[in-house]
Chains A and B, each alone.
Chain A
Amino acid sequence: MRDVIIIGAGGGGPVVAKELAERGLNVLVLEAGARHAKPEQEWSALENHMNSSLTGKLRFGPADPAKPAWFRELTTPGSFSQVAGVGGTTLHYYGNSPRAMPGVFADYRGRDRGMYDHRHKFPFGYDEMRRYYEWTEATLPVQTAAMGTKEQAFFQAAEAAGLSPITGKDITHAGFRPQENAILQPGGTAGRTSDPSQLNYPNATGCTLCGHCFQGCMLPKGAPRNLKARRSTDNSYTPMALTADLWKPGGKAITLVSDAYVTRILSDRQWGRRMQRATGVEWRDVNTGEVHSEDARVVVMAGGCIENPRLWMNSDLPDPNGWVGRGLTDHALDWVTGIFDHDVGGARGTSCSSRADFPGYGAIQNTANTPGVQANNLTNSDSGIRGTYTNGLGGQGAWDGEAGRLYGTELKEMMSDINRQMSILVLTDADVEYQNKVDVSRVFNDDHGPVARVSIDKRRRSRRTQRNRDYLATRAAEILRAAGARKIVRNDWAPVLLHLQSSMRMGDSARNSVLDENCEARAVQGLFIADNSALPNSLGGPNPTLSTQALATRTAEKIFQHYFGGDAWVGHESPICSIDDAVTQAVLSRGL
């Protein structure tokens, strides 16, 4: 019997794995997708090769490229942008690691407290969360991002638009700032040259400003896995978990099995159908079809906001209050782009190193884009085609014309010089709403049972969510205008299911949450959740990965305390950084 089985090696699972491996527990991690063990020999910097949701290396699908991607049903317009495999969706994230807005925590007493989703707050206070943030930020590590052409243009524009800089990690007021990124900042020749012969480790360390975060980070070339620039969990927490016995006295390396799709959580019924106890898991080898099972004292779900409800339902686990899969949030993402008469570095430098935060509304961030992704972003909308039809939407405002997708010659003109574009991603503080949900399809099945079905109807979002989104699009357009944009377009995206949160939410009330204040399932003892789905809300808008990782650290502590009689360590010990020399030596000696 294992001490702990963790389902999923994405943004959250490896955090629990590393923390508990460090405590010497016997941990098995099961990952449905690929383990990209040799990225320099497997990956490229090319969009279709890496990012195609159907055939790309970083897709939600099996490792074998000849097999189709795993399908999920959508009942309303939208698209998925998630990744399976060790690293999960952090394989294509930009490393942005802001903390959540303090206003979404239980103890917030600020004058603007009425601005937040007050019915779905964190069941504990921000001060408690802060120490887990600090631990996680030190482990990854999180660093203040360097500035390139587009960041400089964004900061100047934000200032001209009347915003002031935010100078701490806590978001205390509306303002702009360099991103706090889980990316090692440039050292040596990195960022100073585009000559590939000069960019090998150790001449170059950290981020080379290649702009290919979305294609997966394998740079600098020749660097040990834990010293690759971006701290996706395949480069940070997973190498630590696989070598915990080598860098931590008393530590025990985890067992990692990829291509292992968990199809059922095994449980004992204890007190009737309303309360069960998790006893293990059953999984299917994606390559051979063989079915395996193992028992464990504790099971941790970390398969993501869409797969967790599916697994729960396919396992016939109880749902006494009807909130399994409910309350899905997605930051109601949107896209605003300005076109300039001069070069603003639209496709140069890092993927995303500048942002502005607006407490009570959400956040915006400036991104660099490769051509296919940018064309994809400009053609995504459910407000029709600009200048022709609007689908009853097509809002007008600080941008030019009606919101909608660019098509035909307008798209081609907009794309005619990618470095003269500045694009801003809108991250909305979106309400938890019962009707936004994940359940299982009645039509579509795959080898692992009925597939997940996702319903997130943009037209029925709460008034506050829509207000926040419009507010942020307006602020984005104002910044672009201040920067001197000749033309500004708002796409009004159809839902892009990338920043997903809260589909298995924790909460202080048993009436509207699946998890208690320790992230343990209220209806299944010994079953925890440690990914974005456990978050109680949309964090006020900030990117979710850091908060998920901090919460997963807290969850690991709770598991260790409540099931293994251990003590808490955060606040009592110093974290070991994932780029510590001891970790590097362990990674090299294990041949990772």
Chain B
Amino acid sequence: MSETKPTNSPISSGRRQLLIGSGVLGAAAALNPGMAFAHWGRGKGRGKGRGRWGRDNPQENAPPVEWTVEQLRTALDQLRNDTFFAMIAFGVPGNDPYSEHQGVSTPYPGGITTRADLYLSGGTDLLVPVPAGFMNQLLASIATYLAVKPMDIPEMASEDVGENGEYLLENLNSSFTDYLEGEVSNSVLVALLINLAATRVAGSVDGPFPSPFANLSWEQKAKVFEELESEHSWLKRAITWNIPDRDYREATPGVLSSMVAFMLRIAGFGSYCEFAVFNPQTREVVQRPLGWVLSQYAPDAPPSGIGSDDFIGYYQGRRSV
């Protein structure tokens, strides 16, 4: 079969780590489980040997898969969604699968029920008008950095994945390169970076979700953000390692900080505001937002209040000074 395969460009070790560690390969495999490695998958549970790349597992007889940019876009959008669900569960946990998987949940709903994930992804996309070419430079810089300073994930990135596996990685890389030259949303970029940090923090990130970050425990998620927020994080070094444009290189840490801070903050705002139940025609909520229920705010809403009877008087009767 390998005789009939078209030839792809060889893939560098750094780029390979980027594709695997950021969840691109996992997302692609989640969308089309037959694409590559029959025994590779995100099984339930966290035990060793689940969801690993392995020398014995490549599906040598699988037909070659040509990933189109559009297919990859769909896969990455799903990876983003998965990552953001996990992010919201991290900030405002509830009784959903992401909260339960991270080991911190509550018996009643949390941010995911309010669809704060949608708020978060929409907001991240609008947050910074990233210039064309910026993301490509940024991810290329990370790949270069990883080639020099590889992540400690030998079972995923360094071992032989077989001829067919190698071919599919190369094909995925080619499509990913084409994808990055088009319109890439900030939210996908942020999801890739969070997942890359998750892979670096936890090494092997097996679990039921395509997103490595989503498979972490709550404490591990905190370590991811410790890494992302640190003044001297490896990710900040990696993204500025080899950006050729000096102005881009100088701007990158600030852009990353803004996005990370936004993610952390907006998980709270998005979960407690009226976003999910707002009717723009009436400029009113159609039902009491979950965040208001959780915080016992405005028990009589809707409608929103326009006044209260909280007037007690004036301190010491003083009307003026």
A: residues with CB less than 8 A from B are 43-49, 52, 54-55, 68-69, 71, 73-79, 143-144, 146-149, 151-152, 155, 165, 167-169, 177-178, 180, 185-186, 190-194, 196, 199, 204, 208-211, 219, 221, 345, 347-349, 370-376, 378-380, 382, 384-385, 388-389, 391-392, 405, 407-409, 411-412, 415-419, 441-444, 446, 459, 494
Contact = CB atoms under 8 A, between A and B. Distances in A.
Given A69-B126, A199-B306, A418-B296, A379 B268 contact: yes
Contacts, number: 256
Contacts of A209: 307-311
Most B CB within 10 A of own CB, among A211, A379, A385: A379
A49 B225 contact: no
Contacts of B270: 372
B53 interface: no
Given A46-B285, A46-B304, A375-B268, A192 B311 contact: yes
B230 A380 contact: no
Contact of B308 (A48, A169, A191, A408): A191
Contact of A144 (B262, B294, B321): B321
A409 B310 contact: no
Closest 4 CB pairs of A and B: A191-B311, A372-B273, A208-B307, A375-B268
B258 interface: yes
Contacts of A412: 92-93, 106, 110, 294
B318 A178 contact: yes
Contacts of A208: 306-308
Nearest to A459: B231
A419 B298 CA distance: 10
Most A CB within 10 A of own CB, among B104, B134, B254, B316: B254
Contact of B129 (A49, A68, A379, A391): A68
Contacts of B166: none
A44 B303 CA distance: 11
B46 to A, nearest CB: 19
Interface in B36-92: 90-92
Contacts of A151: 312, 315
A68 B273 CA distance: 21
A389 B223 CA distance: 8
Given A46-B283, A69-B126, A178 B314 contact: yes
A443 B307 contact: no
B314 A443 contact: no
Contacts of B291: 371-372, 375
Contacts of B272: 371-372, 374-375, 415
B296 A417 contact: yes
Given A43-B283, A191-B309, A372-B273, 12 more contacts: A48-B119, A77-B261, A191-B307, A192-B311, A405-B264, A407-B90, A407-B91, A408-B93, A412-B294, A415-B295, A419-B297, A442-B247
Contact of B269 (A75, A178, A372, A389): A372
25 contacts: A45-B305, A48-B274, A52-B123, A54-B127, A71-B129, A77-B257, A77-B261, A144-B318, A155-B315, A180-B321, A192-B309, A209-B309, A209-B311, A210-B308, A371-B272, A375-B271, A379-B267, A382-B261, A384-B226, A391-B226, A407-B91, A407-B222, A418-B296, A446-B129, A459-B231
Nearest to A180: B321
B310 A443 contact: no
Question: A interface, by DSSP: helix, strand, loop or mixed?
Answer: loop
A196 B129 CA distance: 42
B250 interface: yes
B308 A211 contact: yes
Contacts of B297: 347, 370-371, 418-419
A119 B170 CA distance: 62
Contacts of B126: 54-55, 68-69
A441 B247 CA distance: 9
Most A CB within 10 A of own CB, among B92, B128, B295, B321: B295
Interface residues of B, number: 79
B149 interface: no
Interface in B121-154: 123, 126-129, 131, 134
Nearest to B129: A71
A418 B295 contact: yes
A412 B90 CA distance: 11
A376 B270 CA distance: 9
Contact of A44 (B219, B283, B309): B283
Given A49-B283, A408-B104, A418-B297, A194 B308 contact: yes
Contacts of B1: none
A219 B307 contact: yes
A219 B306 contact: yes
A585 to B, nearest CB: 26
A185 to B, nearest CB: 8
Nearest to B246: A442
Contacts of A147: 311-315
B309 to A, nearest CB: 5
B307 A345 contact: no
Contacts of B251: 73, 75, 441-444
A384 B229 CA distance: 8
A524 B9 CA distance: 60
A349 B258 CA distance: 33
Given A49-B274, A388-B219, A418-B295, A167 B312 contact: no
Contacts of B320: 143-144
A374 to B, nearest CB: 7
Contacts of A46: 273-274, 278, 283-285, 304
A114 B272 CA distance: 45
B312 to A, nearest CB: 5
B241 interface: no
A409 to B, nearest CB: 6
Contacts of B229: 77, 382, 384, 389, 391
Contacts of A442: 247, 250-251
B237 interface: no
Nearest to B251: A443
Nearest to B298: A347
Contact of B304 (A44, A69, A185, A419): A44
Contacts of B296: 416-419
Contacts of A143: 319-320
B288 to A, nearest CB: 11
A147 B319 CA distance: 11
A211 to B, nearest CB: 7
A346 B253 CA distance: 37
A477 B269 CA distance: 24
B234 interface: no
A385 B319 CA distance: 43
A363 B63 CA distance: 70
Contacts of A459: 231
